[in-house]
């Protein structure tokens, strides 16, 4: 399982993570990020890693 860490203080609600991995990330109506799950299996590892790469404020970290 891969663990997802979010620095919520750093997150600015750009939504690129949600666009990249909607099965894991969701923004609410106020632009606040919510994790649908904080661990993912191998089927979602590449999309979560891509979401971390596209975050413009580096608020996401992925741990194996």
Structure confidence by residue, pLDDT tens digits, 5-19? 999 999 999 999 999
What's the CA gap between 20 and 9, in Å, rounded? 21
pLDDT at site 24: 98
pLDDT at site 64: 87
pTM for the structure as a whole = 0.92
What's the CA gap between 40 and 5, in Å, rounded? 12
2-63 in CATH: which number? 3.30.70.20
How far apart, in Å, are the Cα atoms of 38 and each of 32, 51, 53? 16, 13, 17
Domain parsing of the chain, residue ranges: 2-63
> Does the pLDDT at position 61 exceed 90?
yes
| Position 25 confidence tier, pLDDT thresholds 50, 70, 90 | very high
Spatial CA neighbour of 21 closest among 57, 56, 53: 53
Give the angle 33-38-44 at the CA atoms, nearest 5°: 100
């Amino acid at each position: 399982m891969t663990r997802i860490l979010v620095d919520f203080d750093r997150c600015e609600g750009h939504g690129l993570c949600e666009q990249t991995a909607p099965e894991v990330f969701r923004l609410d109506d106020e632009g606040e990020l919510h994790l649908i799950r904080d661990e993912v299996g191998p089927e979602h590892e590449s999309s979560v890693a891509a979401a971390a790469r596209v975050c413009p404020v580096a608020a996401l970290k992925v741990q194996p």
